[in-house]
Homo-oligomer: A and B are copies of this chain.
């Protein structure tokens, strides 16, 4: 077929491309960069967990937009000097800040291959879509969702929550909200989540035009789980006041303490009140892979929708999260549009099954399914489940070690993988204790020793250790505690 090429027509002399003029030189540089990348992972334990970007590097980066390029070789050299030494730190064995996954070495290979294919996963008929479909089927199997459920890979749980709540809003609002919007004489839609629920839920309510006041923040019990009595009462009161309850968001692993709501009870409340049951399981949901953690999550399989991340507790490279929606038809009805330029055909590139642009706000989408597929194929669910369990064991080990040290106070008994504690001394006021612990965390980070983060638990500033790190060892946690105590005592003396 290629013989049809008309030989008589020449290229315009000035036509050029952005491809390397010398592929061999490009190949050498690419291999050098890959070696540097692998070195950075193989030797990460010998590096500081974090170091600030020095003023010199900032100044170099803070330049005007370049009119003339400097070529790939020099670009790489500048990257190596100004950018590469300053990662977030979550690749390091002693990073436990916020909830950041570690990534894997294999995930790096998946990313270079995805970059080579450069697929656009909004739709059409090509390999990447089959991989995304496979990954979504696997997720349905993992969570016991029906085969006709809907799903989508997204950047993370914040986006997944937004998508799930859009489906919930449209499903429960009655009327044709896609056409007519929220204005009019509808009763106000209200949703419910615990006071410990992630802020992205409130943000989604704002974007959706429902307002964050329409998210009732239900108090938690002493173990930081949603208070079921107060939840029932709030729903009943809102009904009596003419409002329209439409959704409860259960937390499977709160960001502060790792608490898991009683999802079975929340499911029952949703069923008896005809409410959408959404689970924000950003990191906790994948606990279902561990037989030890699974019982804690009972009820998640009854959710109308689940949001979770692969880049947290499946250790996949940033970014990749997922939303599953039990009613796949409703999921599609919420987002599907068919303009002329996206017309789907029976054959050719415009064919194929599911077009993922029909299931969320994004049209252009990269091939993030590949790194998830690589991770599940390489390790399997069993090994990933064992790693999740290992992180939970490490949290319990850390909590036990804290209990053994008189200068430290354990603030919450860990449910999953999050430990909140602090340095205490009888001579310190509440404010002084808060400030001192803030300083300890900053010192740990700035000296490159460890990277916990902070939060507030029961009004107390906490050193917070969230373990979604496959490189951590028990000795890393011991090193953390030795240093917390040492810094605490040094700071006490200095004060």
Residues of B within 8 A of A29 (CB): 109
Within 8 A of B (CB), among A98-134: 98, 100-121, 124-128, 130-131, 133-134
A449 to B455, CA, bound (A): 58
A114's nearest neighbour on chain B, judged by CB, is B111
A264 within 8 A of B: no
From B69, B121, B367, A379 is in contact (CB under 8 Å) with B69
On whether the beta carbons of A383 and B69 are closer than 8 Å, the reply is yes
Within the complex, what minimum Cβ distance (angstroms) separates A210 from chain B? Answer: 5
On whether the beta carbons of B378 and A75 are closer than 8 Å, the reply is yes
On whether the beta carbons of A349 and B97 are closer than 8 Å, the reply is yes
From B57, B74, B127, B198, A87 is in contact (CB under 8 Å) with B127
A33 within 8 A of B: yes
Residues of B within 8 A of A146 (CB): none
A34's nearest neighbour on chain B, judged by CB, is B34
From B68, B114, B209, B379, A210 is in contact (CB under 8 Å) with B209
Residues of B within 8 A of A118 (CB): 87-88, 90-91, 101-103, 107, 317-318
A89 within 8 A of B: yes
On whether the beta carbons of A109 and B209 are closer than 8 Å, the reply is no
A9 to B400, CA, bound (A): 14
The segment from A36-44, A225-233, A295-303 found at the interface with B is: A36-44
A118's nearest neighbour on chain B, judged by CB, is B103
The segment from A200-208, A267-275, A425-433 found at the interface with B is: A200-208
On whether the beta carbons of A98 and B35 are closer than 8 Å, the reply is no
A403 within 8 A of B: no
The 0/1 profile, CB within 8 Å of B marked 1, for residues 188-215 of chain A is 1000000000111011111111111110
Residues of B within 8 A of A35 (CB): 27
Residues of B within 8 A of A383 (CB): 18, 68-69
From B155, B169, B381, B397, A366 is in contact (CB under 8 Å) with B155
A183 within 8 A of B: yes
From B9, B66, B340, A256 is in contact (CB under 8 Å) with B340
On whether the beta carbons of A203 and B337 are closer than 8 Å, the reply is yes
A462's nearest neighbour on chain B, judged by CB, is B340
A6 within 8 A of B: yes
The 0/1 profile, CB within 8 Å of B marked 1, for residues 258-270 of chain A is 0000000000000
On whether the beta carbons of B473 and A318 are closer than 8 Å, the reply is no
The segment from A245-253, A369-377, A408-416 found at the interface with B is: A369-377
Q: A87-B128, A199-B342 are in contact. Are A69 and B378 (CB under 8 A)?
A: yes
A72 to B166, CA, bound (A): 38
Q: A88-B128, A446-B348, A453-B350 are in contact. Are A318 and B367 (CB under 8 A)?
A: yes
From B61, B104, B200, B367, A363 is in contact (CB under 8 Å) with B200
Within the complex, what minimum Cβ distance (angstroms) separates A120 from chain B? Answer: 5
Within 8 A of B (CB), among A306-353: 309, 311, 315, 317-319, 321, 335, 337, 339-343, 345, 347-351
The CB with the most chain B CB atoms within 10 A, among A38, A57, A116, A142, is that of A116
A493 within 8 A of B: no
On whether the beta carbons of A58 and B130 are closer than 8 Å, the reply is yes
Residues of B within 8 A of A37 (CB): 112-113, 115-116
On whether the beta carbons of A199 and B339 are closer than 8 Å, the reply is yes
A236 within 8 A of B: no
A50 within 8 A of B: yes
A340 to B438, CA, bound (A): 13
A377's nearest neighbour on chain B, judged by CB, is B75
Within 8 A of B (CB), among A63-104: 63-72, 74-76, 78-79, 82-91, 97-98, 100-104
On whether the beta carbons of B23 and A447 are closer than 8 Å, the reply is no
On whether the beta carbons of A350 and B158 are closer than 8 Å, the reply is no
Within the complex, what minimum Cβ distance (angstroms) separates A18 from chain B? Answer: 4
Residues of B within 8 A of A33 (CB): 109, 112-113
Extra inter-chain contacts (12) besides given A12-B397, A67-B382, A87-B128, CB under 8 Å? A18-B105, A26-B105, A61-B134, A65-B141, A67-B381, A68-B382, A70-B378, A88-B118, A88-B124, A88-B349, A156-B365, A345-B442
16 contacts between A and B (CB under 8 A): A4-B483, A4-B486, A23-B38, A52-B125, A52-B351, A57-B130, A98-B342, A108-B112, A158-B364, A309-B364, A311-B364, A318-B364, A318-B367, A348-B441, A349-B451, A350-B454
